[in-house]
Amino acid sequence: MLRAIKGDFIYAGDRQKLSAHKNSYLVYEDGVIHGIYSVLPAAYLQAELEDYEGRLIIPGLNDLHLHAPQYSFRGLGMDMELLDWLQTQAFPNEARYADIAYADRAYSQFVEALRTSATCRAAIFATLHTDATLLLMQKLEESGLYSFVGRVNMDREAPVYLCEASAAAALEETRSWIEHSLQRFHHTRPILTPRFIPSCTDTLMRGIGRLAERYAMPLQSHLSENPAEIALVGRLCPDSGSYAEAYARRGCLGQTNAPAIMAHCVWCDEDEQALLREYGAFVAHCPDSNMNLSSGIAPVRQYMDAGLRLGLGSDVAGGTQLSLFRAMQQAVQCSKLRWRLNAQTEKPLSLAEVFYMATRGGGEFFGAVGAFEPGYAADLLVLDEGEIPTPLEDELSLQQRLERYIYLAAEQRPLHKYVAGNKLF
Amino acid sequence: MLRAIKGDFIYAGDRQKLSAHKNSYLVYEDGVIHGIYSVLPAAYLQAELEDYEGRLIIPGLNDLHLHAPQYSFRGLGMDMELLDWLQTQAFPNEARYADIAYADRAYSQFVEALRTSATCRAAIFATLHTDATLLLMQKLEESGLYSFVGRVNMDREAPVYLCEASAAAALEETRSWIEHSLQRFHHTRPILTPRFIPSCTDTLMRGIGRLAERYAMPLQSHLSENPAEIALVGRLCPDSGSYAEAYARRGCLGQTNAPAIMAHCVWCDEDEQALLREYGAFVAHCPDSNMNLSSGIAPVRQYMDAGLRLGLGSDVAGGTQLSLFRAMQQAVQCSKLRWRLNAQTEKPLSLAEVFYMATRGGGEFFGAVGAFEPGYAADLLVLDEGEIPTPLEDELSLQQRLERYIYLAAEQRPLHKYVAGNKLF
């Protein structure tokens, strides 16, 4: 069905430039955009119109990295580094998802929070518990959000209660979960999810690589987050010159028709960057988490210049907030600190660039997503600027209104949210 | 009148340690605390009791640095560094306060936002407009908040519309404003406020130093925020070996009975730290602003170790948020990045340490403020944790509840707020 929305539209035209369309009409049909017009063309006069005149409308945000089971304990145990935090916070809490009643309670809260947030699409880690993972997928499917969800694989360097019985059993269980979820869900897709090299034996990791190939299925994992973790990978994988190479050698860097998402990439050197580019992998930049877990500041300017595929991740619960507006602020702030502390060699990220990452950059993982251009999915957020008081009577540009919203209304619920043309609220 | 409050109390016992009192009674009289008791002593049985059983109660937060006139344009023009930002954003917007109708509108919004925030006391920059500054002070007085407010002095390196007519005229106007406001207000006090060395001639700065001495009045300014600013001060003050020394030589580092607050201190070396310690100056650490304006990361661990007086500042509008919970998060995050990027030599700040800074550390500027101990002001916040959903059924400690609140509810309005024993809401 043909529909039109009226309002003040702004989106990332490319990596550096915002495209603003004041008082215009967005036309879409069956969830796919036809175009934006300052005057509604005659051919579209019969479209069903929703009038949000004067409201700022932006593409839905896309979260390339978060852990659903960790939503429950976000904001606790923050005075720790990655490996300690995993052992004392993440692992014991993830073990609770063996209890389906707990999973039901926890995932209901998580999905409701994500549904009412500004995020339209997400790539999500679950746990190794198949039943709980399917329950999460069911709830996401019902929410109207679009997502990739991963049953997490681990068979070493973790408490026994979070390790698969064996690599072979893990691969069989994963295969069966894939088959089941491919049949059962429409916009909630399975994604291969080896936690990271330290928690997967070579046998398991290579098996996952074969599954990726067999199903032409994307994969998500963690890469070069923390110096101690990187040193551990060096000891575990003497066959590889880098952490990224260790994934590549095991067929897990997206060497299929479907790309990989690598979260963090705080410490990737030129060689690792070259591998990421070669395989078209997405970098999920997670500045909140990288600060909380003392990981460092990712060289995002280098990734931009190298043409890597780039998106933002909240990384709940290494990050504490689902808000990707918050992640945009923090990505800019971290890049400014990196610039200042690194002899001013890498130019800070601009607001337009981080907005690109949160919309179009991350959206690319989901297909034609994150822009208001023909053929793109009709994912959009109608924003409420009324909660930000100002005595200024100057008329602000759409760019300024966007900047104000990102900095001042990061935690606010959008007024309306559409995913693939469906109005969620 | 003798009053008692029941609830779960937590405060900074010292710089490193939280002091928790579950299900206890805080007794106060005429705005001053008698003590905390797990059982209400017989002598206090006649106290009027307010029962907040099960609620988390913390001391009010104290903001050592913010610019009231900048509240209007926070979240705009954030892709700039300090000196450019001053010229294109701060100065033109501050000029609007020559118009008293604009000032009325803008300061009403600011004071209402501060009143409903978690901040109980603040040290505030106004502008050089005396009428608008008095209007701001009147509104703050009526709000029930306790504050120091500064009419800002500038007579160089700023647009002519923001410069005083002459140093002599500025000093006379400042003296008259001090006399007037000392008589007129009770808990809204004047504070000497030379903007910073670059915008004050030596004649003006020395005159301000004499006013500080004459009135035994505290002073607030900016110190060593940005490398370009520091270089400028070096050129402007060849008589001084450092930026802090330039203030000291002009009698503006708190060489009276009243201390100075120096905002930022991002780049203070050992010599500057020694001067700050010698004069008992307060460092107002403003991490949000220091990130937004690409200033850098202040060496707060060094200041802690050197025993400097330390508080937090929101620095609206270099910072975008009034929330000092947010500033606590960011102070921890910045210290973690500094640790990581500086060869792990300076231990990151703990949650207890930043909570100390926001309560007791900054509170010291206002007297016996920021702790639940005998003789301290009854400034307190009753918090609402109900907005943070969790599936966990484990009972959290008061420390964990505080951590969760700081990370997850930074923008939330407290349930109740008391300043010096007066309930604001």
Measured distance CA(A31)–CA(A297) in Å, rounded: 37
CB distance B184 to B225 below 8 Å: no
The per-residue pLDDT for B255 is 81
Which residues on B lie below 8 Å from A102 (Cβ)?
391
Report CB contact under 8 Å: A392, B333. Answer: no
The SS3 assignment for A213 reads helix
Which residues on A lie below 8 Å from B336 (Cβ)?
291-294
Interface of B with A in 252-311 (CB under 8 A): 291-297
Tokens coding B185: 């207000």
Distance from the first to the final alpha carbon of chain A: 19
Q: List the single best residue of B18, B315, B390 to mutate versus A (max A Cβ within 10 A).
A: B390
Measured distance CA(B419)–CA(B348) in Å, rounded: 31
Q: List the single best residue of B341, B344, B350, B396 to mutate versus A (max A Cβ within 10 A).
A: B341
CA B248, B253, B257, B259: dihedral to nearest 10 degrees? -160
Measured distance CA(A52)–CA(A8) in Å, rounded: 8
**Partner residue opposite B392 with nearest CB, options A73, A293, A297:** A73
**Partner residue opposite A341 with nearest CB, options B113, B296, B333:** B296
Measured distance CA(B22)–CA(B17) in Å, rounded: 16
| Distance, CA of B104 to chain centre | 23
Residue type, B63: D
**Partner residue opposite A75 with nearest CB, options B320, B403, B411:** B403
Interface of B with A in 70-89 (CB under 8 A): 72-79
**Partner residue opposite A340 with nearest CB, options B72, B113, B296:** B296
Nearest to A397 by CA among A118, A56, A37, A52: A56
Nearest to A419 by CA among A157, A158, A178, A143: A143
Q: Is the ipTM of this complex over 0.90?
A: yes
Q: In what order do the strands lie in the sheet with B146-150?
A: B188-190, B146-150, B119-125, B61-67, B309-312, B282-285, B260-264, B219-223
User: How much helix, strand and coil, in percent to the nearest 5, is found in chain A?
Assistant: 40, 25, 35
Report CB contact under 8 Å: B75, A297. Answer: no
Task: Chain A: give the shortest CA distance to residue B421, in Å.
Answer: 30
Cβ neighbours of residue A169 closer than 8 Å, sequence gap 6 or more: none
Residues of chain A with pLDDT under 50: none
Q: Which residue of A has its CA nearest to B351?
A: A79
The per-residue pLDDT for A251 is 95
Cβ neighbours of residue A21 closer than 8 Å, sequence gap 6 or more: A8, A9, A10, A36, A38, A372, A398
The per-residue pLDDT for B340 is 95
Report CB contact under 8 Å: B294, A404. Answer: no
Measured distance CA(B70)–CA(B97) in Å, rounded: 10
Nearest to B228 by CA among B267, B182, B254, B274: B267
**Partner residue opposite A403 with nearest CB, options B78, B109, B336:** B78
Series of mean pLDDT values for 10-residue runs along chain B (425 residues): 97 97 98 97 96 98 98 92 87 96 97 98 98 98 98 93 94 98 98 97 97 96 96 96 97 90 98 97 98 97 97 97 97 97 92 98 98 98 90 89 95 96 98
Transcribe A299-354 into DSSP letters.
-HHHHHHTT-EEEE---BTTB----HHHHHHHHHHHHHHHHHHTTT-SPPPPHHHH
Measured distance CA(B66)–CA(B71) in Å, rounded: 9
Q: Which residue of B has its CA nearest to A319?
A: B407
**Residues listed for chain A:** 425
B21-25: long-range contacts, CB 8 A cutoff, minimum separation 24:
B21/B372, B21/B398, B22/B398, B23/B53, B25/B49
Nearest to A197 by CA among A163, A229, A165: A229
Measured distance CA(B12)–CA(B18) in Å, rounded: 5
Q: Which residue of A has its CA nearest to B113?
A: A389
Which residues on B lie below 8 Å from A297 (Cβ)?
337, 341
Which residues on B lie below 8 Å from A337 (Cβ)?
291, 294, 296-297, 334, 337
Residue type, B346: E
Measured distance CA(B236)–CA(B155) in Å, rounded: 14
Q: For chain A, say whether B397 makes contact (Cβ under 8 Å).
A: no
**Partner residue opposite A72 with nearest CB, options B75, B341, B391:** B391
Query: B420 vs A271, B35, B60, B126, B347, CA distance in Å?
Result: 60, 14, 10, 24, 35
Nearest to A305 by CA among A270, A255, A263, A355: A270
CA angle B413/B414/B419 to nearest 5° reads 120
State the helix-helix crossing angle for A130-143 and A100-115, rounded to 10 degrees. 30
Dihedral sign of CA atoms B375, B378, B380, B382 in order: positive
Which residues on B lie below 8 Å from A105 (Cβ)?
391
Measured distance CA(B111)–CA(B132) in Å, rounded: 13
Report CB contact under 8 Å: A292, B336. Answer: yes
Report CB contact under 8 Å: A400, B76. Answer: yes
The SS3 assignment for B183 reads helix
